[in-house]
């Protein structure tokens, strides 16, 4: 089975003569098992008709940001969430400039701003335009933000010149995408991640919970999947979207999360506890709704099982175990204490209760600690922070693996 099987690829076409190759690219991506949806800019439609892509993909083509009918069918936010990869082929010089500067003036630019998915560009333009300092500055800026470039290639150009600026051929683009997924640092690994809050019942209609949205854990799932892993996310209640291709096990309470993790942990190589698991639960929630009769009532809370600690304590098949620490003060001391007490391979510490960090926010920053090591991940979108954390985890996981295999 191809590594592209089941991937949600949003193929975007911008204005350039190389757009004539894009229907063939769509067809080849589908042959490799990917689900393909298409977005076109108005300039792209001067080169190829939307009907061509509709015929090749069997799906309506999206091109209008302000059309109520198409927004009602699958709006730009749904498309942005649906994709686990946005492939812009061809990517014109103008589109690169607009992407680099965060424009939101058409459907494609807007959904690129709204997506957590990896963005991959296959640039295509005149060789002098490609070499221009402005285009190269945009390229550098985009690459620094995690946008990947496939090509351009060198050769004859439609304008009669010869140089670097040709869009790679569809077969080469599909092969590079396959390599990108197949050679991921976690290919062959199974990663389990807990995400979101838990809900602890007070009675049948009320519960105790916390502010976790699930975003950090879900972005870690997407990053691990992108790195080639099979990913299982054990999720508390969350309204956030989860990338395609991830196995999702929904739970509500800490006890359910514990049971689910323990039932599925066998065979997992890496475990990441990103969920905000309630430490306590009401001791004996009544079967009926509590009536408002007393002036005050007391709830007796008892400890929940510690999922992370239980995974780290597994005697056989223990995965590489990574915890999170959410702290309002003493970030590094408390995180290091949790790492040692729970016998973790690594801990990712984040501030909570501060704007732009931790719970509910779209951005985060992390301090990563392991025995003898410490790395900081600067504040950025959670999707980017998650990619960096997955890189660090896979480096440490493989380093530990090779130490174990060398018998030292
Ligand atoms: O979901 P978001 O809105 O994106 O927010 C992300 C986050 C702030 C929730 C996330 O980045 C984070 O910090 N998650 C861990 C929150 C937490 O519960 O931290 P803690 O310091 O209380 O717990 C330490 C570790 O033990 C965590 O890995 C936690 O998952 C785990 N734990 C805790 C209690 C318990 N009973 N079982 C556990 O597994």
What are the pLDDT digits (tens) for 39-69?
A: 999 999 999 999 999 999 999 999 988 777 6
Backbone angles phi, psi at 191, to 5 degrees: -120, 125
Query: Whole-angstrom Cα distance, residue 21 to residue 28?
Result: 11
How many angstroms is it from 193 CA to the middle of ligand 1? 11
Give the nearest ligand 1 atom to 325 CA: 21
On whether both 166 and 266 belong to a single domain, the answer is no
Query: Whole-angstrom Cα distance, residue 179 to residue 338?
Result: 38
Give a yes or no: residue 19 inside a domain: yes
Q: Is the CB of 198 under 6 A from ligand 1?
A: no
Query: Whole-angstrom Cα distance, residue 333 to residue 177?
Result: 42
On whether both 87 and 199 belong to a single domain, the answer is no
On whether both 195 and 312 belong to a single domain, the answer is yes
Q: 295 CB contacts (<8 Å, ≥6 apart)?
A: none
On whether both 164 and 198 belong to a single domain, the answer is no
Q: Is the CB of 272 under 6 A from ligand 1?
A: no
The gap between the terminal CA atoms of the chain, to the nearest Å, is 37
On whether both 157 and 243 belong to a single domain, the answer is no
Q: Is the CB of 213 under 6 A from ligand 1?
A: yes
On whether both 328 and 198 belong to a single domain, the answer is yes
Predicted confidence (pLDDT) per residue in 277-323, tens digit:
999 999 999 999 999 998 999 999 999 999 999 999 999 999 999 99
How many angstroms is it from 119 CA to the middle of ligand 1? 29
- Per DSSP, what are the bridge partners of residue 148? 120
Give the nearest ligand 1 atom to 382 CA: 4
Backbone angles phi, psi at 245, to 5 degrees: 85, 10
On whether both 176 and 195 belong to a single domain, the answer is no
| Residue 65: closest CA among 101, 114, 100 | 114
How many angstroms is it from 323 CA to the middle of ligand 1? 8
Residue 208 burial (C-beta neighbours within 10 Å; 0-12, 13-18, 19+): middle
How many angstroms is it from 246 CA to the middle of ligand 1? 20
Query: Are 360 and 367 contacting, i.e. CB atoms less than 8 angstroms apart?
Result: no
Give a yes or no: residue 59 inside a domain: yes
Q: What CATH number does the domain containing 125 carry?
A: 3.40.50.1950
- Given the structure tokens 């990103």, which residue do they identify? 274
What range does the domain containing 157 cover? Answer: 8-182
Q: Is the CB of 397 under 6 A from ligand 1?
A: no
Q: What CATH number does the domain containing 210 carry?
A: 3.40.50.10300
Question: One of 159, 178, 189, 268 is an active-site residue; which one?
Answer: 159
pLDDT at 403: 62
Q: Is the CB of 238 under 6 A from ligand 1?
A: no
On whether both 29 and 155 belong to a single domain, the answer is yes
| 178 noted as active-site residue | no
Give the nearest ligand 1 atom to 214 CA: 1
Cα diameter, the chain: 86
Predicted confidence (pLDDT) per residue in 224-257, tens digit:
998 989 999 999 999 998 887 899 999 999 999 9
pLDDT at 159: 85
On whether both 178 and 199 belong to a single domain, the answer is no
| Residue 39: closest CA among 68, 65, 21 | 65
On whether both 45 and 153 belong to a single domain, the answer is yes
Predicted confidence (pLDDT) per residue in 105-129, tens digit:
999 999 999 988 899 999 999 999 9
Q: Is the CB of 323 under 6 A from ligand 1?
A: yes
| Residue 275: closest CA among 210, 208, 186 | 210
Q: Is the CB of 319 under 6 A from ligand 1?
A: no
On whether both 323 and 304 belong to a single domain, the answer is yes
Give the nearest ligand 1 atom to 352 CA: 8
On whether both 175 and 197 belong to a single domain, the answer is no
Q: Is the CB of 356 under 6 A from ligand 1?
A: no
Q: Which of 148, 182, 216 is the last residue before a domain boundary? A: 182
Predicted confidence (pLDDT) per residue in 155-174, tens digit:
888 888 888 999 999 999 99
Number of independent structural domains in the chain = 2
pLDDT at 22: 98
> What is the band of 146 on the pLDDT scale with cuts at 50, 70, 90?
confident
* R_g of the chain, CA atoms, integer Å: 24
Predicted confidence (pLDDT) per residue in 73-109, tens digit:
678 888 998 998 999 999 999 999 999 999 999 999 9
Task: Report CA 42 to chain centroid distance, whole Å.
Answer: 29
Which residue minimizes the CA distance to atom 31 of ligand 1?
Answer: 308
Query: What is the number of other CB atoms lying within 10 angstroms of the CB of residue 12?
Result: 29
């Amino acid at each position: 089975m191809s590594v592209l099987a089941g991937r949600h690829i949003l193929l975007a076409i911008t204005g350039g003569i190389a757009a004539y190759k894009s229907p063939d690219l769509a067809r080849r991506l589908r042959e490799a098992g990917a689900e393909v949806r298409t977005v076109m800019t108005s300039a792209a439609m001067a080169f190829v008709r939307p009907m061509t892509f509709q015929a090749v993909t069997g799906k309506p083509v999206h091109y209008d940001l302000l059309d109520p009918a198409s927004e009602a069918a699958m709006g730009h936010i749904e498309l942005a969430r649906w994709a686990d990869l946005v492939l812009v082929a061809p990517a014109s010089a103008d589109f690169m400039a607009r992407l680099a500067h965060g424009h939101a003036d058409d459907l494609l630019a807007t959904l690129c701003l709204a997506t957590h998915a990896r963005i991959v560009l296959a640039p295509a333009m005149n060789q002098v335009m490609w070499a221009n300092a402005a285009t190269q500055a945009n390229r550098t800026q985009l690459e620094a933000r995690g946008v990947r470039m496939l090509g351009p290639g060198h050769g004859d150009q439609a304008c009669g010149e010869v140089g670097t600026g040709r869009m790679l051929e569809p077969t080469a683009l599909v092969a590079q995408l396959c390599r990108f997924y197949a050679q991921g640092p976690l290919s062959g690994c199974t990663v389990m991640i807990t995400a979101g809050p838990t809900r602890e019942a007070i009675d049948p209609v009320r519960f105790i919970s916390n502010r976790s949205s699930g975003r950090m854990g879900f972005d870690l799932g997407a990053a691990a999947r992108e790195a080639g892993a099979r990913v299982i996310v054990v999720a508390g209640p969350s309204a956030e979207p989860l990338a395609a291709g991830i196995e999702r096990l929904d739970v509500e309470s800490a006890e359910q999360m514990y049971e689910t993790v323990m039932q599925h942990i066998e065979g997992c190589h890496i475990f990441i506890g990103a969920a905000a698991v309630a430490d306590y639960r009401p001791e004996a929630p009544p079967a009926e709704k509590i009536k408002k009769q007393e002036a005050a009532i007391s709830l007796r809370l008892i400890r929940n099982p510690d999922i992370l600690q239980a995974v780290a304590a597994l005697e056989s098949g223990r995965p590489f175990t990574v915890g999170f620490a959410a702290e309002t003060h003493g970030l590094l001391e408390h995180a290091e204490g949790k790492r040692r007490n729970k016998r973790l391979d690594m801990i990712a510490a984040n501030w909570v209760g501060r704007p732009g960090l931790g719970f509910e926010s779209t951005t985060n920053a992390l301090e990563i600690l392991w025995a003898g090591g410490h790395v900081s991940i600067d504040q950025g979108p959670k999707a980017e922070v998650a990619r960096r954390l997955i890189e660090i985890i896979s480096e440490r996981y493989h380093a530990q693996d090779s130490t174990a295999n060398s018998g030292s």
